[in-house]
Amino acid sequence: MSRLEEREAALLALASRVVELAGRGESLEAYALHNVGTSVSAFEGAIERLTSAETLGVGLRLIVGGALGFAATSDVSDEGLALALAEARSNAELGTPDLGNVLPSPPTMLPEPVPGLVDGSLPDVPAARKVAIALELDRLTASLDPRVRRAEGVSYGDAATSVAVCSSAGVAASYSRTDAYAFVSALARSGDETQTGSGFTEGRGVDALDLTAAAREAVDRSVRLLGARKPATATVPVVLDRGVTADFLGVLADAFSADAVQKGRSLLAGQLGQRVASEIVTIVDDGRAAGSPGAAPFDDEGVATRRTPVITAGVLTGYLHNTETAAREGGAARSTGNAARGSYATAPGVAPTNLLLDHPGIDPADVLRMAGTGLYVQQVSGIHSGVNQVSGELSVGATGLWIRDGELAEPVRELTVSSTIPDMLGALLAVGNDRRWYPRGGSFAGCTVLIGAMTVAGS
């Protein structure tokens, strides 16, 4: 057995040991997580920080008489686990009995494994190799363009993660995954002016990283903003960079959550079967998408992941459920495998696995041509404060380039773009064929898109 396999087996044994502590009339679930990672940051040709991290913890979900109590601990000794169970019991005593408080029943078949989640060599990569990756990305970034003399910062990170879920309802499942990434922010200078641009590369292991591409991306994105000015206020067609599309998918994600719908917090509540977007918009949550960062065989309560279309050709066709939100629908829904936890220390909520615009798309250059004159948004800021999740109104800061005659022209900064999420979905006129996965506190696939009109505020 490899080191990672051994760790996963030990974790499954830990979770099952917890479940054996359940008393009569108690439903108990243990979610155990073991994460071993390294991170490195470099600055001006030297290593700044090297961190070795190991996290092990377990979250206990206890249901008694329909009431839920939760407790978590990073102390996995017998005493630590007993203390956590006592906390969960006292929390359940105060809980409100609810239809939604049920644990998933075990699947008739074990979830199909998802291939390619592990690069078995990662746990054995020496720290020196990781240090060399960070230094190399730092060096490359400073060598591509005379206006970029150095990086603002460079980081490398990796993690080998094992997850185990066991419950008194009969669930017993585990899997492991590995992840590696490198990130760089380039600093372009011209006279007194400074602009930044970022690039990244990610994969299952260090061999999957393309450092040259990440450096090139960061340098190009910083340099092309030099000389940026504030544009005049106008309402124009807007082309979103694929990373910005991923940002907006991230904002839209919560609207698809059945939990948000049931609580009246979703702007898509009550619109199943209705047109909510232009015909070219098909959005799918795919927990098994090939090559996606968010792929896993089962969700954070052990339910098999799957493919769930939420918008099909502009029509709202579904919401994302975990076991709790499905149970609240009283048999009208079942879990879509979208239970998600922030960490072992939180009870599951609902979140997308991998959210993507499902469209073959056209050449991104043709998307620009369709826009004619307008704004190309390279980066947005303040997206989490600038979007009202409930009303869908949005106004965010942006930097980018003006589009003239269907091509990128002069850079612009210090502007805001505004619209509403329903208006943006309705005015989505073209999709590029340049899909790329972005880890943005979730996994979202970006591609270049054209929005027919948005308000751009400058001077």
Give, as ranges, the residues between 21 and 50 that touch other proteins (CB under 8 A): 43-44, 46-50
Instruction: By CB under 8 A, name the one of 28, 71, 296, 401 that touches other proteins.
Output: 71
Residue 325 CA to residue 101 CA, distance in Å, equals 9
Q: Which is nearer to other proteins, 222 or 245 (CB)?
A: 222
Residue 33 CA to residue 25 CA, distance in Å, equals 26
CB 304 within 8 A of CB 105: no
Q: How far is the CB of 65 from other proteins (least distance, A)?
A: 14
CB 444 within 8 A of CB 351: no
Interaction between residue 267 and other proteins (CB under 8 A)? yes
Buried b (16+ CB within 10 A) or exposed e, 427-459: bbbbbbebbebbebebbbbbbbbbbbbbebbbe
Q: How far is the CB of 68 from other proteins (least distance, A)?
A: 8
| 173-192 positions binding other proteins, by CB under 8 A | 187
Residues in the chain: 459
Neighbouring CB atoms inside 10 A of 186's CB total: 31
Instruction: Give the DSSP H or E segment for 423.
Output: helix 421-426
Q: Which is nearer to other proteins, 26 or 366 (CB)?
A: 26
Tokens standing for residue 220 = 């190009």
Q: How far is the CB of 115 from other proteins (least distance, A)?
A: 30
Instruction: By CB under 8 A, name the one of 1, 25, 54, 405 that touches other proteins.
Output: 54
Instruction: By CB under 8 A, name the one of 80, 309, 422, 439 that touches other proteins.
Output: 80
Which of 2-10, 25-33, 272-280, 385-393 is the region at the interface with other proteins (rule: CB under 8 A)? 385-393
Instruction: By CB under 8 A, name the one of 271, 278, 317, 455 that touches other proteins.
Output: 455
Which of 115-123, 271-279, 330-338, 407-415 is the region at the interface with other proteins (rule: CB under 8 A)? 407-415
Instruction: By CB under 8 A, name the one of 82, 121, 207, 230 that touches other proteins.
Output: 230
Q: Which is nearer to other proteins, 286 or 319 (CB)?
A: 319
| 137-166 positions binding other proteins, by CB under 8 A | 152-153
Interaction between residue 123 and other proteins (CB under 8 A)? no
Per-residue binding string, other proteins, 84-103, x by CB under 8 A, is x--xx-xxx-xxx-x-----
Interaction between residue 347 and other proteins (CB under 8 A)? yes
Interaction between residue 75 and other proteins (CB under 8 A)? yes
Helix (H, G, I), strand (E, B) or coil at 316: strand
Work out the angle at residue 73's Cα, subtended by the Cα atoms of residues 67 and 78, and round it to the nearest 5 degrees.
100
Interaction between residue 274 and other proteins (CB under 8 A)? no
With tokens 């390619």, the residue in question is 116
Instruction: By CB under 8 A, name the one of 120, 393, 427, 433 that touches other proteins.
Output: 393
| CA distances to 134, 149, 182, 305, 387 from 209, in Å | 11, 23, 7, 27, 33
| CA distances to 306, 307, 358, 391 from 283, in Å | 14, 11, 6, 20
Q: Using only the alpha carbons of the chain, give its radius of gyration.
A: 24
Count the site residues for other proteins by CB under 8 A.
Answer: 79
Instruction: By CB under 8 A, name the one of 227, 381, 407, 436 that touches other proteins.
Output: 381
Residue 360 CA to residue 185 CA, distance in Å, equals 31
Q: How far is the CB of 415 from other proteins (least distance, A)?
A: 7
Interaction between residue 263 and other proteins (CB under 8 A)? yes
Which runs of consecutive H residues, i.e. helices, occur in 374-420?
383-386
Which runs of consecutive H residues, i.e. helices, occur in 350-398?
364-371, 383-386
Q: Which is nearer to other proteins, 54 or 405 (CB)?
A: 54
Instruction: By CB under 8 A, name the one of 345, 370, 427, 429 that touches other proteins.
Output: 345
CB 154 within 8 A of CB 137: yes
Interaction between residue 56 and other proteins (CB under 8 A)? yes
Q: Which is nearer to other proteins, 413 or 435 (CB)?
A: 413
Instruction: By CB under 8 A, name the one of 2, 51, 143, 274 that touches other proteins.
Output: 51
Q: Which is nearer to other proteins, 262 or 282 (CB)?
A: 262
Q: How far is the CB of 407 from other proteins (least distance, A)?
A: 25
Interaction between residue 388 and other proteins (CB under 8 A)? yes
Residue 12 CA to residue 366 CA, distance in Å, equals 51
Interaction between residue 394 and other proteins (CB under 8 A)? yes
Q: How far is the CB of 432 from other proteins (least distance, A)?
A: 26
DSSP code per residue over 1-28: --HHHHHHHHHHHHHHHHHTT--TTEEE
Q: How far is the CB of 272 from other proteins (least distance, A)?
A: 17
Strands 349-350 and 354-357: unpaired
Residue 432 per-residue DSSP state = B
Q: Which is nearer to other proteins, 354 or 419 (CB)?
A: 419
Tokens standing for residue 298 = 């089962």
With tokens 């072992």, the residue in question is 344
Instruction: By CB under 8 A, name the one of 271, 346, 370, 429 that touches other proteins.
Output: 346
